[in-house]
Amino acid sequence: ALEKHYYKSYHINLSVEQRDRYLQQQLPAAAICHMESKLPTLFLLLALVVCSASHHHDPSVVGYSKEDLALPSRLVALFTSWSGNHSKIYTSPKEKAKRYGIFKQNLMHIAETNRKNGSYWLGLNQFADIAHEEFRTNYLGLKQELSRTGAQSHPPPTFRYANAANLPSAVDWRYKGAVTPVKNQGKCESLAGSCWAFSTVAAVEGINQIVTGKLVSLSEQELMDCDTTFEDGCGGGIMDFAFAYIMGSQGIRTEEDYPYLMEEGYCKEKEPHASVVTINGYEDVPANSEISFLKALAHQPISVGIAAGTRDFQFYKGGVFDGACSAELDHAVTAVGYGSSYGQDYITMKNSWGKKWGEQGYVRIKRGTGTPEGVCGVYTMASYPVKNATPWG
């Protein structure tokens, strides 16, 4: 009975295997919730009830059985709960009805995908009332068609980690203090998106902490406003150009000094004594090489292009993602670690869609598939900033 209650109350058609993986990830920090996954399933279910009662009221994880999905009253209740949780306000009854229709379609896709018992699962998030094409238009801002060498007066030097050996079996730069909290790019002026700026900034924040010991949140808005030679602000860009801008402008300002506005603005001149973080260069990871990717990631967070324009990625909630990908790179994230779970090797990526998306704002992408480009093309366009140790940091 307890298992049935869990199945109906906490997920949209999750299998037993998916449920157990979800439990392992979602149990909070209490001692009982740090027990190993080898404990009996019933104990873990009891732990969830004791430790995770707050999840019951979170529409991103609350679900219904297949039969419940056919009941209009339950669907309306879920939509009402979800829209309240995400502070959705609609301009008219007609707009609300339109969004409810889209919500139902997305919900059915989520339920159908979760019934497949894959290594990942989907859930309701802030995008649940958005049609897929609308999502692609407004939240994916990587411009792959731009040449990565266009912003370079000289090609990057040889891949510095080529001879790296004895790589650790797992790396997580979050636990090493080199990753700032997950940020939210939002809907940037109804254009392609600012993901490229967030990916760039996260990589620079990481190497700056590794070299100086100081974790400083940096300004995506400065890149949006000032890096305009090759980039297009809310219209999209790529990370190499942004690294080149930071080099050429003697650093990038902090988030506190130049906060994010979710729109393009006028470039503010740097004050003479403005607090900035500098880099000395950037390098590309050799394309289509998983081992090169891991060598770089073992030493620092790296910016990554990804083919994320699918409904599965739009509603990713947890697990190791190996689902459908778009035809080309269209989004930018930051790789912050790699590891293994339940026999699945993965790369941990920091996204910029807020903490209500994915695993508290992160996605784990499957690795070790044998394809040169990797799942969703993550090995085809990766790069990282270079920062030398200096007396002034």
CB of 277 closer than 8 Å to CB of 255: no
Alpha helices (runs of H) in 213-324, residue ranges in sequence order: 220-226, 239-248, 290-297, 311-314
H helices of the chain, in order, are: 2-10, 16-26, 41-51, 72-85, 93-114, 132-139, 195-212, 220-226, 239-248, 290-297, 311-314
- 351 noted as active-site residue: yes
Kindly name the residue from 114, 125, 351, 376 that is annotated as catalytic. 351
Q: How far lies 10's CA from each of 14, 75, 164, 272, in Å?
A: 9, 15, 44, 54
Tokens of 251: 């650093």
Active site residue 331: yes
Question: Of the residues 188, 195, 234, 325, which is catalytic?
Answer: 195
Where helices occur in 249-367 by DSSP H, the ranges are: 290-297, 311-314
Name 113's Cβ contacts closer than 8 Å, sequence gap at least 6. 121, 122, 312, 315, 323
| 132 labelled catalytic | no
DSSP one-letter code for 286: P
Q: Are the C-beta atoms of 323 and 313 separated by less than 8 Å?
A: yes
What residues pair up with 321 in beta bridges, in sequence order? 365
Query: In whole angstroms, what is the distance from residue 195 CA to residue 334 CA?
Result: 10
Q: Which residues contact 18 (CB under 8 A, 6 or more apart)?
A: 11, 114, 117, 118, 121, 319
Q: Quickly count: other Cβ atoms within 10 Å of residue 38's Cβ.
A: 6
Return all residues near 243 (Cβ < 8 A) that are at least 6 apart. 200, 204, 279, 281, 282, 383, 385
Query: Which residue type sits at 344?
Result: Q
Region of 280 please: left (phi>0), alpha (psi -120 to 50) or beta.
alpha
Cα–Cα dist 63/318, whole Å: 15
User: Out of 106, 325, 331, 376, which one is annotated catalytic?
Assistant: 331
Is-contact 225 150, C-beta < 8 A? Answer: no
Active-site positions read 195, 331, 351
